């Protein structure tokens, strides 16, 4: 009897150490969010295809780009591979501080999201790119909807750019009109550029737009973390957002806190994925200029970057 108990105990110990040493990734699907701009959607499919190479099953879930951080906190989605500092830094940091999301990796890409104009606008509004040149020519940017104020064409509201707060804090004679989609931004830019009409709109880098148009970002007062929390910081002593967006913003990968233990092999790959500015721009271009479907664009990127991702999925590297 005693012997039996001992050997059962030994078997249990062996089984336990075995399961620890050879922990297999869960067969549950890894849920990857897709958002409303093209590099992100293509990149999501690249990330998905790389995780599939570890044996994982993945599922793509269309998700609001702010709500995604709560969803990742609750484990409803499992990663966010394009965390732009300017748009999502606050939402991301909040869930990292709560301990439910981990900062899995930082891409090499440096990002900027800001008011932007095509180059010919400098002739219409001298003094640009300095932000304080805008008020003198605000009326030239007016539309029927905003006249006599100038129109700033912002991105979809879920990118949460605080443009209206900035307009107020810097006393700009502009009104923010949010585009319903990224495609609507580019359509307005194209039609303005054809007629060389004044336009100032939200844009970012890396993006495919820089391959199509010469242009510049408006230079607002330099970003400082205090600008968004401390009204007394900056030129306006009573208001926050009297500054621009970060110029060298990070691009990070976030993961649900259970990801590393639930899918350890997939997590090791996720941590090695590293996109450059060129990668993100190319991902946008494949969708927006070459009109590829996301999965097809992802296959193209993977075919063109094989030696890089082979190193990312190699457990020995």
Which residues of the shown chain bind ligand TMO in the complex (CB under 6 A)?
A: 37, 84, 87, 113, 155, 159, 204
Write out the H or E segment, with its range, that includes residue 38. Answer: helix 38-52
Q: E-assigned strands of the chain?
A: 30-34, 58-62, 79-84, 101-106, 112-118, 150-154, 174-178, 201-205, 215-217, 251-256
The Cα–Cα gap between 245 and 27 comes to 41
> What does the angle CA 141 – CA 142 – CA 146 come to, to the nearest 5 degrees?
140
Q: Are 257 and 242 in contact (CB under 8 A)?
A: no
Q: Are 231 and 240 in contact (CB under 8 A)?
A: yes
- Between residues 266 and 281, which has the closer beta carbon with respect to ligand TMO? 281
Q: Using CA atoms in the order 191, 196, 198, 202, what is the torsion angle rounded to 10 degrees?
A: 50
Q: E-assigned strands of 267-313?
A: none
Q: How far is the CB of 203 from ligand TMO (least distance, A)?
A: 8
The Cα–Cα gap between 168 and 251 comes to 28
Q: How far is the CB of 65 from ligand TMO (least distance, A)?
A: 7
The Cα–Cα gap between 248 and 251 comes to 10
Q: How far is the CB of 194 from ligand TMO (least distance, A)?
A: 24
């Amino acid at each position: 009897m005693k012997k039996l108990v001992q050997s059962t105990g030994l078997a249990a110990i062996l089984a336990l150490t075995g399961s620890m040493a050879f922990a297999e990734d869960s067969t549950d699907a890894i849920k990857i969010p897709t958002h409303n701009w093209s590099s992100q959607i293509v990149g999501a499919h690249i990330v998905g295809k790389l995780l599939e190479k570890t044996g994982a099953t993945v599922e793509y879930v269309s998700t609001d780009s702010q709500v995604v951080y709560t969803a990742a906190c609750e484990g409803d989605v499992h990663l966010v591979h394009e965390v732009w500092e300017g748009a999502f830094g606050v939402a991301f940091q909040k869930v990292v501080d709560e301990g439910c999301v981990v900062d899995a990796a930082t891409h090499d890409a440096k990002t900027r999201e800001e008011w932007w104009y095509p180059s010919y606008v400098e002739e219409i509004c001298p003094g640009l790119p300095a932000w304080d040149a805008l008020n003198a020519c605000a009326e030239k940017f007016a539309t029927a909807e905003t006249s006599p104020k100038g129109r700033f064409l912002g991105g979809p509201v879920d990118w949460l750019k605080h443009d209206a707060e900035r307009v107020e804090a810097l006393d700009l004679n502009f009104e923010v009109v949010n585009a319903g989609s990224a495609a609507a931004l580019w359509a307005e830019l194209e039609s303005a550029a054809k007629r060389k009409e004044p336009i100032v709109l939200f844009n970012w880098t890396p993006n495919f737009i820089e391959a199509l148009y010469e242009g510049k970002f408006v230079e607002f007062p330099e970003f400082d973390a205090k600008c968004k929390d401390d009204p007394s910081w900056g030129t306006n002593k009573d208001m926050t957002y009297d500054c621009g967006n970060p110029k060298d913003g990070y691009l990070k990968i976030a993961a649900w806190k259970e990801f590393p233990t639930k899918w350890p092999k997939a997590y090791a790959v996720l941590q090695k994925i590293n996109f450059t500015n060129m990668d993100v721009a190319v991902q946008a271009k494949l969708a927006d200029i070459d009109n590829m479907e996301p999965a097809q664009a992802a296959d193209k990127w993977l075919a063109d970057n094989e030696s890089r991702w082979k190193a990312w999925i190699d457990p020995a590297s």
